[in-house]
Structure 1
Amino acid sequence: MGFLKKKKVKKPVESSNEIRGPVIGIDLGTTYSCVGIYRYGAVEIIANDQGYRITPSYVAFTESERLLGNAAKNQAVRNPNNTVYDSKRLIGRVYGDPNVSKDMFHWPFGVASENGRPVIQVVYKGEQKSFTPEEISAMILQYMKHTAEAYLGQKVYEAVVTVPAYFNDSQRQATKDAATIAGLRVMRIINEPTAAAIAYGLEDTGGEKNILIYDLGGGTFDVSVLSIDEGIFEVKSTAGDTHLGGEDFDNLIVEYLMKEFKEQYSINGKGSITSDLQKYYLCLYSLRFEYLTTPVFKKTLEYIGTALDDAKLSVRQIDEVVLVGGSTRIPKIRNLIEEYFSGILGTRTKINTDINPDEAIAYGAAVQGAILAGDKSEQVLIL
């Protein structure tokens, strides 16, 4: 992936346009999305109609209806060709982009070219349909909008939406277009690492600081180095892998289980599994899991080194690290990060893990939404 040029991001100010209601914060993720609102002196992450605080970024089309979120993901195995996910990977790109070709290889649904742009092809209610990535993302954003409205008991018209720091202008504009289709006015597009830093109130800690955001989610990994001085964010570098995350760990476990299963039943890959085989059980202890996945975990440390080199900073110059993304809950990952920044070189870098890593980006977006909405409460000002 390419790296982002340095860019100053000013601290949010009130919008001169009329705001018609609460400003929500939306983390539109590759694998999961999340929505939050700041009110009554705190950020509230809003659960969807299934009771989950994070929502799979899935849209499914069937003979009778369109499904979103958990309902869409739960039927994906039965309806793979018409279940769309990872649409964020396509948004704002051209069909000829090499990344589009690579991603298409992994998807069961069709992707075609329309005026040089990728469109997603599915069968919906018995008819062939084509949707742009913006339209698919709009469906997810609209679902998050409705989730917030059901919780708040009022209409929502404005939002702060997050994007990866490496998104270019085309991808950012396409994200805004998706929000417009969803019936939302985007008050601001902010970088995901910036949102994570805001969630921890790092912009108001005084003095100049260097912050590293380590974001390991379900399908992507990003590491960003920010400098913060007097409330102004500067993205100094980004690095990562758009195909590295929790799904890779799942695949490693599945491969291990398949290998053990074949050995237990002496299957050479040519025979078939008969119904008289007894059920297969295997206890996967944490040590075995770490043995399988640690090489992938250590690969993320290489990207940290790349980001630090690009930012022309040493490990000792990083004041704080923020862990974001559900995969950062894994104890081995946290141990490796702590060793990288503290154990090996004896630095005193602070590792921030207090906020739910699945929710931290939406949390920061919600805080920024409150500031844009003109919230002057002391709690907002000190965050």
Structure 2
Amino acid sequence: MHFGVDLGTTNSLIAVFRDGTPQLIPNALGQVLTPSVVALHQGRLVVGEAARAISLSQPAQAAGLFKRAMGTDRAYRLGQTDYNAPELSAMVLAALKADAEAHCGVPVSDVVISVPAYFNELQRKAVRAAGRIAGLNVTRLINEPTAAALAYGLHERDAEAKILVFDLGGGTFDVSVLDLFEGVIEVRASAGDAFLGGEDFTDALARYIATQSGLDANDPALRPALIKLAEQAKVGLSSDAQIHLQAELGGTPIDLHLTRERFDDITAPLLTRLAAPLDRALHDSGFTAQQIDKVVLVGGATRMAAVRAYAGRKLRQFPVIGLDPDQVVALGAAVQAALVARDAALDDVVMTDVSAFTLGCDTARQIGNTYREGYFQPIIERNSIIPTSREEMFSTIQLGQEVLRFRIFQGESPLAMNNLALGEIEVKVPRNMEHHESAIVRFTYDVSGLLEVDVTVQSTGKKASLVISKLAGEMSEADITAALKKMAALKQHPRDDAANIHLRTRIEAAYGMARAEARDWVANLLVQLDAAIDAQDPHTLTALRRDLHKALDEFEAHYVT
């Protein structure tokens, strides 16, 4: 069995490849989507639906959307302890690992984890660190649209087509263009925006609702409930042309009629940001929109009517959804895990991927009689098929110069300082007062994201090498070891308690949102749950949980009609 993980901004999933096909694994609540939220509940940490419910009633006790902080030093405080994004992501991964082990009955170690195509090296290494902290061996990272393409490619392995994968998730937007032919899945180009996703559309709508209702959209006490209301409205407008919002937040009544057209106006600036990655991916692939045979939508945010309409207009065809857009990335990650392990069921499948960013070094350019440093010289262009190896020749600036120093960068800016610094290497050259010394710089980049830099002095053959494995800001071995110890010392609720914790926190959140006359009714739900837990009758408890969830569904539906 081979395992793949979609570590998402909003939700995460894990899938297993067995019996020749990828299959999703349910969590303790029987759901395949696990919210990427961590919260503190009665002194213990919880992950998933229960944590998301806590984030609504006690926002200070919960952390979410931390995928967007990967590769940064941002800290999230839960109780008296600070956690960084890799540590919180590790808790989500650990929960998925436990779900997979319970479902499959085998230990889970080796996994493939998906990442946004436009994650830089620092962000990718943060994901690898999260895997290690969770007790996982991350055998490969796969770009999310590539994973989706792989799931579709397996589903249609005999097809010959040019496919564009349009992946708008909770926090990121990615585009990949690929060629399918004779069992080969060739990624031609990838592009994206690491800070554009469905959560941004929800936030825009929440701010509109707040403005129309005289509320402060940044009020930390109101924001979680406001975001939930906006999310419900966004989902409602995906299927209905108009909805009616009725709620009470912070003692302020909300009564709004919202049309799909108004929602489109509110989110128009976000829709325009979809254009640049689409144009770049098509340009780099060498295909035009007319040459694309199929547009595949991936990510829950593509359920928005405005997004689907935009994709259709921009690409001049109706997009297709053959597989669930929330699930396809996890399925593809499991297929990649099987490919890495050389599963016999995939002997006839070949996949190639590309580098999402340009890799190069800084150099000096002559301006008049002087040289100005700090310019970026690409060596491996973005969307080069990997693994790949490329070289460029560089010379000393001054006669008699004894050292050549190269700083390595990743990015698309012509100025080195605006790109991501990866490392530095230098090599000594003979002191030559007659001619400029030259050196050949070779970059070798593999599918696992490892970059090796070799510098060879032409006159002497002297060589220096650098393997980019540690970046400034990356978690060090000491950091990861400390995080492992922190994880081991954490008090986490047992997996078997997840259903009760989820229901309890959902009831508590409903109580916080209820009007005065409904609070007694909500409080009684909690009394019923506690009585059933104390009675320790599993069958009665299961039936009660089902009834209480149904009652809460009806209660919450009142907010959006």
Superposition TM-score, scaled by structure 2 size = 0.50
Conservation of the 8 A alpha-carbon contact between 2:188 and 2:284: no
- Report if aligned partners of 1:160, 1:365 keep a CA contact under 8 Å in 2: yes
Q: 1:354 aligns with which of 322, 334, 338?
A: 322
Q: Secondary structure of the residue that 1:30 maps to in structure 2?
A: coil
Q: CA RMSD of the aligned region, Å?
A: 3.3
After superposition, give the CA deviation of every residue in 1:93-123 in whole Å (9 maximum; x if it has no partner): 3xxxxxx5xxxxxxxxxxxxxxxxx252424
1:173 and 2:125 aligned: yes
Q: Distance in 2 between matches of 1:174 and 1:363?
A: 22
In the alignment, which of 310, 327, 331 is matched to residue 363 of structure 1?
A: 331
Is 1:58 paired with 2:37?
yes
Residue 76 of structure 1 aligns to a residue in which SS?
Answer: helix
CA distance in 2, matches of 1:254, 1:170: 31
Report the CA distance shift for 1:282/1:51 in structure 2 as closer, same or farther (over 3 A): farther
Q: Which residue among 145, 154, 176 is the counterpart of 1:193? A: 145
In structure 2, the partner of 1:31 is: 10
Aligned position for 1:335: 309
Query: What's the CA shift string for 1:128-185, capped at 9, x where partnerless?
Result: x233432222111111111112222332222111112223333333322221221222
SS in 2 for 1:24: strand
Aligned to 2:502: none
Matches within 5 A, 1:295-310: 295-310=269-284
CA deviation digits over 1:51-104, x for unaligned, max 9? 33212211123551111112112111444344222332333x3xxxxxx5xxxx
Q: 5 Å matches for 1:19-98? A: 22-62=1-41, 64-91=43-70, 93=71
Q: Contact (CA 8 Å) 1:225, 1:237: kept in 2 or not?
A: yes
Cα deviation code 1:207-244 (max 9, x no counterpart): 6x54322111122222233455662534524132x332
Query: How many positions carry a matched residue from both structures?
Result: 317
Shift of residue 376 of structure 1? 2.7
Q: Is the 8 A contact 1:194 1:233 kept in 2?
A: no
Matched, 1:293 2:246: no
* TM-score, length-scaled by structure 1: 0.71
Residue 95 of structure 2 corresponds to 143
Residue 307 of structure 1: how far off its partner (Å): 3.0
Question: What's the offset of the Cα at 1:322?
Answer: 2.0
Give the partner amino acid of 2:112: V
The aligned amino acid for 2:126 is A
Q: Which has the higher contact order (CA 8 A, sep 6+)?
A: 1
Partner of residue 152, structure 1: 104
Alignment match of 2:77 (pick from 122, 132, 138):
122
Deviations 1:272-299 (A, max 9, x none): xx99x89543343434433433453343
What amino acid is the match of 2:125? Q
Post-superposition CA distance 1:320-344 (Å, at most 9, x none): 322111011123322322232225x
| CA–CA distance in structure 1, aligned partners of residues 122 and 264 of structure 2 | 39
Report if aligned partners of 2:63, 2:76 keep a CA contact under 8 Å in 1: no
Partner of 1:224: 176
Residue 85 of structure 2 aligns with an amino acid whose one-letter code is P
Paired residue for 1:11?
A: none
CA distance in structure 2 between the aligned counterparts of 1:169 and 1:261, rounded to whole angstroms: 43
Q: 1:312 Cα shift?
A: 4.5
Letter in 2 for 1:137: S
Native 8 Å contact 1:204 1:382 kept in 2: no
Runs (5+) with no aligned partner, structure 1? 1-21, 94-99, 101-117, 264-273, 344-349
SS in 2 for 1:282: strand
CA radius of gyration, larger in: 2
Q: What amino acid maps onto 1:362 in structure 2?
A: A
Matches within 5 A, 1:235-274: 235-240=188-193, 242-262=194-214
**Letter aligned with residue 309 of structure 1:** H
In structure 2, runs of 5+ residues without a counterpart are: 216-247, 352-561
CA contact (8 A) 1:201 1:382 kept: no
Distance 1:70 1:364, change over 3 A: same
Same amino acid, percent of matched pairs: 38
